[in-house]
Amino acid sequence: MVKIILITHGILGQALLETASAICCIEGQDISAFSVSGKVNLQDLEDKIKTICTSGETLILVDTFGGTACNIALKCSMDNDTVFVICGLNLNMLLTASNNNGKLPLKELCQKVITDGKKAIFEATENIKK
């Protein structure tokens, strides 16, 4: 099983994790949510995440490219071929990651998460008018 780490601004990651838990069973999976805020020591956070990443395949989902969460994730993935970082986290991405965890190799899991995340973004008003 791949470890899944959410790194987001504020409580977004924890809220997505709680919502995903209510929708599908994610018990038994190694999924963690970390918050980036003014109250968090960023070096301590980076050290925690690096420790998690050293013990096997890890998928890190972050909210936005170029932000603090992403920068920490990218630092943790440097020189580690078993850590992948995906930006633009949404609920569909997390559900796809958890529902397919253990069923797909890490690289294929990443591609599926990205594909399903993109599929979830569309103008719904146009869709229902057809």
Mean of all residue pLDDT scores within the chain: 92
Is residue 130 pLDDT above 70, yes or no?
A: no
Average pLDDT over every residue of 88-104? 95
Q: Give the residue, 126 or 51, on which the prediction is more confident.
A: 51
**CATH, residue 18:** 3.40.50.510
Q: Give the residue, 130 or 29, on which the prediction is more confident.
A: 29
Average pLDDT over every residue of 73-82? 92
**Tokens encoding 86:** 């995906």
**Is the four-CA dihedral 89, 20, 29, 39 of positive or negative sign?**
positive
Question: Per-residue b/e over 65-77, b at no fewer than 16 CB within 10 Å?
Answer: eebbbbbbbbebb
Q: What is the pLDDT of residue 26?
A: 73
Q: How many domains does the chain have?
A: 1
The range of the structural domain enclosing residue 47 comes to: 3-129
Average pLDDT over every residue of 26-51? 88
